[in-house]
């Protein structure tokens, strides 16, 4: 008995719910399909399927065995693909996720450059301001800002960013520069009401301090809050990468730098580890090089 082929047949029966349909899909005779299942059951010494005139169902043992078969067959396919050379060349669909603003500013140009180099890859971008589950949501690679929980994912650090308080030079000329976090009580505050923001602004590395701000303006997006600060209306707190070009041009200036928290790391994350396909491995290496060279996140 070809055990691998018998496993494929069993998995196909589990998916289709029919011996006849499985035989048709695999271009086999129904008796040959039945013999394959009987051979597995004889080898294992347990019934894997229960059959009635109308349906085919997995037994409890059969359900567990089918899941194991799926993993074994996936490993076999990976080995065959590696041997045939398909893992050596990036091909197929590649899905990358990141937070909305970071993705639009930094990941999008990296992906389009990558696709120009590897035209047999199709890119799909998913920019969301929430933590995604890579496996459940069918995502290949994530770029994440912040400390990572322990997991089996592979993670490569590519930089770090800071939470900064910033405003326009004309605002500081008019209202003065806050000397310490508590001084924010006397300043106009612009708050972004995105998923990651809070009115409790934390400061300090060793000596922690929390200041509850009272915004005069709420914006439902970070770009809007930044634009309001750029206009000279007030101060906002934002991640440094979001205002990097404004800080370089002088349109915005940071204050209270000596009170900032520890920087937040930036990682490229993927779930495939050393068995990653060529498209994932090549993109991760490519993106890591580009992001590490970006002064706004390093």
Of 263, 269, 270, 258, the C-alpha closest to 296 is: 263
Q: Within its chain, how far is the Cα of 146 from the centroid?
A: 12
pLDDT band at 164 (very low <50, low <70, confident <90, very high): very high
Strand segments, DSSP code E, in the chain are 49-51, 56-58, 92-98, 121-127, 141-145, 154-161, 163-167, 189-192, 200-203, 209-212, 217-219, 235-239, 253-255, 264-270
Q: What is the pLDDT of residues 283-293, one digit of tens each?
A: 999 999 999 99
pLDDT band at 84 (very low <50, low <70, confident <90, very high): low
pLDDT band at 185 (very low <50, low <70, confident <90, very high): very high
Q: What is the pLDDT of residues 207-236, one digit of tens each?
A: 889 999 999 999 999 999 999 999 999 999
pLDDT value of residue 196: 60
pTM of the model: 0.68
Q: Between these two residues, 92 and 168, which has the higher pLDDT value? A: 168
């Amino acid at each position: 008995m070809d055990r691998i082929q018998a496993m494929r047949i069993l998995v196909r029966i589990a998916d289709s719910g029919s011996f006849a349909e499985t035989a048709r899909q695999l271009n086999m005779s129904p008796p040959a399909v039945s013999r394959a299942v009987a051979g597995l059951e004889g080898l294992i010494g347990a019934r894997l399927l229960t059959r009635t005139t109308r349906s085919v169902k997995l037994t409890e043992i059969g359900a567990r065995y089918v899941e194991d078969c799926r993993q074994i067959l996936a490993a076999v396919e990976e080995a065959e693909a590696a041997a045939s050379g398909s893992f050596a060349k990036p091909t197929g669909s590649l899905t990358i996720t990141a937070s909305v603003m970071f993705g639009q500013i930094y990941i999008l140009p990296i992906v389009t450059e990558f696709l120009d180099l590897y035209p047999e890859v199709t890119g799909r971008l998913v920019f969301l301001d929430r933590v995604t589950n890579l496996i459940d949501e069918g995502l290949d690679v994530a770029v994440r800002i912040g400390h990572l929980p322990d997991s089996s994912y592979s993670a490569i650090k590519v930089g770090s960013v800071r939470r900064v308080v910033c405003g326009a030079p004309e605002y500081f000329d008019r209202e003065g520069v806050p000397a310490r976090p508590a001084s924010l009580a006397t300043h106009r505050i612009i708050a972004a009401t995105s998923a990651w923001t809070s009115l409790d602004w934390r400061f300090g590395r060793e000596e922690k301090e929390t200041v509850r701000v009272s915004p005069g303006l709420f914006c439902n997006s970070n770009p809007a809050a930044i634009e309001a600060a750029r206009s000279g209306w007030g101060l906002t707190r934002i991640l440094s990468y979001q205002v990097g070009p404004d800080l370089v041009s002088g349109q915005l200036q940071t204050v209270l730098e000596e009170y900032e928290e520890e920087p937040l790391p930036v990682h490229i994350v993927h779930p495939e580890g050393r068995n990653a396909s060529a498209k994932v491995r090549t993109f991760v290496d490519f993106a890591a090089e580009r992001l590490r060279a970006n002064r706004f996140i390093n």
